Amino acid sequence: MNKKIVTDIDVKGKKVLMRVDFNVPVNEDGSVGDDTRIVAALPTIQYVLEQGGSLILMSHLGRPKGQVKPEYTLKPVVGALAEKLGLDVGFAGDCVGDEAKEKAAALQPGQVLLLENLRFYPEEEGKGVEAEAQEAFAKALADLGDVYVNDAFGTAHRAHASMAVVTKYFESCAAGFLLEKEINYLAKTLESPEKPFVAIIGGAKISGKIDVVVNLMDKCDTILIGGGMAYTFFKAQGQTIGGSIHEDDKMDLALQILADAKAKGVKLLLPVDNVIGDDFSESANVQIVKGDIPDGWEGLDIGPETRELFSAEIAGSKTVVWNGPMGCFEMAPFAAGTNAVAQAVADADCVSVIGGGDSVSAIKKAGLADQVTHISTGGGASLELMEGKELPGLTALTDK
């Protein structure tokens, strides 16, 4: 990575303003539902503290849309983080203003302060806000710290104040270890994959993944397409698809993708059979069909032959990236395709990178998380990397 990382800057005796992604689920009793994102930020937090720095941590939680909404307070994170660190963690009930200033000014080396939800201010996301107001908000955040670190990979695709504006007020802005690790795995894998390189793309719609398919077309040997997006391809090729999810306005695009793959010598495989249901529910009647899907039925998973076909491609690969489920895996009758792909990826002797919330939860649910090379902590950010886009939160950091 050509950006400074936290080990490249001097944090001793400094107040480190650090953007983290503590957007954790919170239970009704106010406890943290899943501390994965807190744990993911610990290496950088601990490094700064060990080096004799203090930390001012800032994050968003949920979508309060620029308003103070108590249900989106970051307070629940204080206890969870304190427990993990074995230290007291301070809290400022507003991310800017007098309380934050006073508490930040009083911080001693080895101490940690968490600021309240950044998104209580519309200036954080910047929607409907004048550029000057956003800059003033970013400057108020910047004034709290001496140096800046970004370890919020999950939000790095957003050009928000705490990531892409605050940086202009610091001489040196560095990436934390989580951001560095994510970029190294994903970007490096995409840049110089060992061949054969297989991409597995699923999910509900073509429109959500089209840029990934287009970008990977120039890098991959094989693209496996499953999930709801497959049915637009089928319809475009003249098959009947019953009530399956599809996008009529993307049929030309689907045909173009097939033609491009052919022209570029990329093996693009669509499902050869489908699991169909007569209802979008766990209790639907289920059939396996090849070709046309009758009226009153919809395609909800890849079929057994496709599972074998896709698994064989994955087994022969040296690099795999996977984004999006092969079917409605949340419902047991339609989970077999996604599970088979998860198992094939886990079994393959290859570098495997899983990005995207649903593929990650599928691989975790199958108990295979420790058998893949890298599981991305950021769905949207990893998707944008797969699309070949720059991440504003990364671009804003200081070059090495």
Q: How far is the CB of 27 from ligand AMP (least distance, A)?
A: 23
Q: Mask: binding to ligand AMP, 213-252, rule CB under 6 A, as x and -?
A: --------------xx----------------x-------
Residue 311 makes CB contacts below 8 A (sequence gap 6+) with 340, 341, 343, 344
From 15, 37, 219, 307, active-site residue: 37
Question: For 182-186, which contacts have Cβ atoms below 8 Å and span 24 or more sequence positions?
Answer: 182/153, 182/376, 182/377, 182/378, 182/381, 182/382, 183/1, 183/153, 183/385, 183/391, 183/394, 184/1, 185/353, 185/373, 185/374, 185/376, 186/353, 186/355, 186/374, 186/376, 186/382, 186/385, 186/386
Rounded CA-CA distance 329/338 in Å is 6
Of the candidates 204, 272, 309, 369, which one interacts with ligand AMP according to CB under 6 A?
A: 204
Task: Return the bridge partners of 375, or none.
Answer: 354
Q: Say how far residue 325 (Cα) sits from the centre of its chain.
A: 14
Q: Which range touches ligand AMP (CB under 6 A), out of 116-124, 148-156, 197-205, 311-319?
A: 197-205
380 flagged as catalytic? yes
Q: Mask: binding to ligand AMP, 281-310, rule CB under 6 A, as x and -?
A: ------------------xx----------
Residue nearer to ligand AMP on the CB measure, 96 or 300: 300
User: Is 133 one of the binding residues for ligand AMP (CB under 6 A)?
Assistant: no
205 flagged as catalytic? yes
Q: Which range touches ligand AMP (CB under 6 A), out of 20-28, 52-60, 143-151, 198-206?
A: 198-206
User: Is 53 one of the binding residues for ligand AMP (CB under 6 A)?
Assistant: no
From 69, 205, 267, 318, active-site residue: 205
Rounded CA-CA distance 276/273 in Å is 9
* Cβ atoms within 10 Å, residue 264: 11
63 flagged as catalytic? no
Q: How far is the CB of 325 from ligand AMP (least distance, A)?
A: 5
37 flagged as catalytic? yes
Enumerate binding residues for ligand AMP (CB under 6 A): 203-205, 208, 227-228, 245, 299-300, 324-325, 327-328, 330, 356, 358
